[in-house]
A = this chain, B = another copy of it.
Amino acid sequence: MLLCDVGNTSYHFYENGRDHKEPVTTFDPASVTEPVYYISVNPDTVDALSRLENWTDISPLIAWDKYYDTLGVDRAVLCEALDEGVIIDAGSAITVDIVRAGVFEGGFIYPGVRAMYKSYSDISTRLDYSFNFELDLDKMPKNSRDAISYGYLRTFYSEVMRHEGPIYLTGGYATLFAKIFKDAVVDQLLIFKGMEKILNVKGTSC
């Protein structure tokens, strides 16, 4: 069964344990002839894909009463993948969602690395530093680069660690954040596990 997670920059395909990405700008979804089950956070593609008979949007299969109206479909599907855990999707924005015994407890949104870098550097050129992911989180900073790195990373870490349960990291910056969350499981295929679970539960052949 071919699955696809359509983002703002790429089509992320998955089948039989293997995944690959195609850029949104150049890839023609009509070039796929087999059935594809997909989700999309990209409003530009939703319309185009709805006109292709072999592309099936699985978002209507999600038990939406567990979530809230404006929650991104990708966040809901990631939550469907697990019964217990703190799910960090580190992309242009970072979403953190908590699932306990299969129940979505809520979640929050934190700026991604680029957005936060810009946030500091726009305030002052004196805050124009790349983040230090090797930072010792247990020491109060005594230089400017560490002071902003701590401001970005330690605040986030302190809040995430308050929530018990295993931490799962996914998204483009997952490996970078694994330097901070040393016990986290990095899983770039978590979204597909959620999609498979949604399709299985609903009795679709898999």
Name A's B-contacting residues (CB within 8 A): 68-71, 92-96, 98, 105-112, 115-116, 118-120, 122-124, 126-127, 139-144, 146-148, 150-152, 154-156, 158-159, 162
Contacts and interface: CB of A to CB of B under 8 A. Distances in A.
Contacts of A151: 94, 96, 108-111
A68 B106 contact: no
Given A98-B140, A143-B70, A151-B110, A122 B115 contact: yes
Contact of A106 (B69, B110, B140): B140
A115 B123 contact: yes
A140 B106 CA distance: 5
25 contacts: A68-B143, A70-B144, A71-B144, A92-B124, A93-B120, A93-B124, A93-B127, A107-B141, A108-B140, A108-B141, A108-B155, A109-B127, A109-B144, A109-B148, A110-B151, A110-B155, A111-B120, A112-B123, A115-B123, A118-B119, A119-B119, A155-B156, A155-B158, A155-B159, A158-B159
A123 B89 CA distance: 15
Closest 5 CB pairs of A and B: A106-B140, A119-B119, A108-B150, A158-B159, A155-B155
B159 A154 contact: yes
A44 to B, nearest CB: 13
Contact of A111 (B119, B154, B158): B119
A125 to B, nearest CB: 11
A32 to B, nearest CB: 27
Contacts of A70: 126, 143-144
Contacts of A127: 93, 109
Nearest to A104: B142
A70 B148 CA distance: 13
A117 B4 CA distance: 32
